[in-house]
Amino acid sequence: MDKYITTPITAETTKGLRAGDYVYITGTFYVARDAAHKRLIEALEKEEREFYARLPKRDKNNGNLAQPEEEALKKKLREALPFPVIDSAVYYMGPSPAREGRPIGSAGPTTASRMDKYAPRLLDLGQKAMIGKGKRTREVIDSIIRNQAMYFAAVGGAGALLSKCIKSSELVCYEDLGAEAVLKLEVEDFPVIVVIDSNGNNLYETAIKEYAEII
């Protein structure tokens, strides 16, 4: 069924969507892939180390924080990220350069599994949507369920067509990473398919089973 949603993507949004839904998204995407994710996680780790170093000795308690400290840490970590992470949608993508007069070049999804190592960390801080293509690990699926998040696939190899849904693109940070820099995109009716919904239903598994004639 075709559905239309806008960002920010909240728990309310993901609750209304199921694996297999064809969805058009309008709003803001943050773009990050391998090298950017590595830096985002390094920034979080640094912030976390500094937070623990500042804690009085009696509160350290093997890393188990009391509720108020836990919240204070989460706040610090969110601030360490270069974009507002709560209810955000992150697009796993590295565009080709834009020709003159265009916001972006070819802009299709990249393989999401390379971000599996990093994704749960960001979902735990409030990121709600991941847009990419390809399989995810059990850890990511568990994190999707825990955070009422969602994994969408865009059609891989349709970068020219998808670029037409991108209305503007601006650099957020990590310019030195070239095609892997973090970008902020404004998108209009960007077509995606819900692959893993907030209950952990996985279209890659169910759809393949439905059409398989041999195993």
Cis check: omega of the bond before 8, within 30 degrees of 0: yes
Choose between 77 and 181: whose C-beta lies nearer to another protein: 181
Q: Residue 108 class from Cβ within 10 Å (0-12 exposed, 13-18 middle, 19+ buried)?
A: buried
- What is the 8-class DSSP label of residue 104? -
Distance (Å, whole) CA 51 – CA 75: 11
Query: Cα separation of 145 and 142, whole Å?
Result: 5
**What's 111's DSSP letter?**
B
* 3-state DSSP assignment of residue 202: strand
Q: Please, what is the minimum distance in Å from the beta carbon of residue 19 to another protein?
A: 10
Nearer to another protein, 30 or 125 (CB): 30
Give the Cα separation of 8 and 29 in Å (integer).
Answer: 9
Q: Decide whether 86 or 208 has the Cβ nearer to another protein.
A: 208
Tally: H helices and E strands in the chain: 7, 7
- Work out how close the CB of 79 gets to another protein at its nearest, in angstroms, rounded to a whole number: 28
Q: In terms of CB distance, is 26 or 111 closer to another protein?
A: 111
In the complex, what is the shortest distance from the CB of residue 169 to another protein, in angstroms, rounded to a whole number? 12
Which is nearer to another protein, 75 or 102 (by Cβ)?
A: 102
**To the nearest whole angstrom, how small is the minimum distance from the Cβ of residue 57 to another protein?**
38
Q: Please, what is the minimum distance in Å from the beta carbon of residue 143 to another protein?
A: 19
Binding site for another protein (CB under 8 A): 20, 22, 35, 93-99, 102, 105-108, 110-111, 113, 133-135, 153, 155-161, 163-164, 177-180, 191, 193, 195, 203-204, 206-214
